[in-house]
Amino acid sequence: MGSEIAQLLSELREDEVIAKVKSELEAGTDPNTILEMCQEGMVLVGDRFEEGEYFISELMMSGEIFNQISEILAPGLTGTGGTKSGKIVFGTVQGDIHDIGKNLVVGLLRASNFDVIDLGVDVPPEKFVEALKETGAPVLALSGLLTIAFDAMKATVKAVEDAGLRDGVKIVLGGAPVDDTVVAYAGADAAGGDAQHGVKLCKKWFNV
């Protein structure tokens, strides 16, 4: 039963998986259990992406289906919907307003049960520092599509250092032009690579 929801979701059969979720709810299945099944489905989607069977459009569609199901389940979830895997502060760096890549990864991280604090786009270094202080998040994810983001990423890493937080925070950079040269220049810890790789990296860092 559980694997059927996971299976339908992993095959992106939108109407069927939503109907199945609704019928499970009506039959009295615990919404928390259904959510776990969906998370299982999202892991299968991630596997298919890594195997080269799925591409970004399939990741986006799975995120869309997952969001719809989350809304259906929300009223019946206890507490925050289960224990979160960990906190991540996320944003597109100052001067850059692109958010497609960021939103995709934020969606995938949330579907993997991470508590993501999404600061939006064009975020100045001090706002990242503030959010790290407020939340105590041990991971900071910086996104950027333009090459001007290189300097903004470097400035953000420096602000985290200046605030004395750097030792307790892992910093990952994402976005089309980011590579190891940029990671070294900015003084960050890793390049996120594609969306799925970024999620895997966070899971590794959090030992999930």
Partner 1 sequence: MNPEEIKNLFDRRLGRYQAAIALEPVDRMPIACGSNYFAEVYSGNDHQTTVYNQEKWLEAEKIFIRDFPEVDVLRDNRIYAPLFDVVNCRTYRMPGRDLEANTWFQFVEKENMKADEYDLLIENPTAFMLERYLPRVLGDFAEPGSHRAQVALLKGGMAFAQMGQVMRNRGLTLEKECGMPQPTAGFFLAPFDVIADAFRGLNGVVMDMFRKPDKLRAACDALVDEMVNMALVTADPLKRYPIFVPTHKPMFLSPSQFEEFYWPSFKKTILTLLDAGHNVRAYLEGDWSKHWHHIKELPKGRVVCDIDDQADILKALDDIGGHQCLAGGVLSSMLILEKPKAVKERVKLLCEAAGKDKHLLINGGCNIPHDTKAENYRAMLDAICEFGIYDPSLKPMPKTPPKPVNDVGPRMLTSWEERVDEWGGIRGEESLIRQPWELFEKLAYVWIWSWVS
Q: Which is nearer to partner 1, 60 or 72 (CB)?
A: 60
Residues 6+ apart with CB under 8 A from 27: none
- Which residue lies nearer to partner 1 by CB, 153 or 165? 153
Residue nearer to partner 1 on the CB measure, 43 or 61: 61
What minimum distance in Å lies between the beta carbon of 122 and partner 1?
Answer: 8
CB of 179 to partner 1, least distance (A): 5
CB of 76 to partner 1, least distance (A): 26
Q: First-to-last CA distance in the chain?
A: 25
**Closest to partner 1 by CB, 62 or 113:** 62
Nearer to partner 1, 12 or 116 (CB): 12
Binding residues (CB under 8 A) for partner 1: these are: 12, 14, 54-58, 60-61, 64, 95-98, 100, 146-148, 150-151, 176-177, 179, 181-182, 185
Give CA–CA dist 89/118, Å, rounded: 6
Min dist. Cβ of residue 162 to partner 1 (A)? 22
- Alpha carbon 35 to chain centroid, angstroms: 16
- Listed in sequence order, the residues at least 6 apart from 15 whose beta carbon sits closer than 8 Å to its beta carbon are none
Going by their DSSP bridges, the two strands 139-143 and 87-92 should be labelled as: parallel
d(CA 41, CA 56): 16
CB of 136 to partner 1, least distance (A): 31
Helical packing angle, 31-50 and 56-73, nearest 10°: 180
Shortest distance (Å) from residue 27 CB to partner 1: 27
> Contact at 8 Å (CB) between 18 and 72?
yes
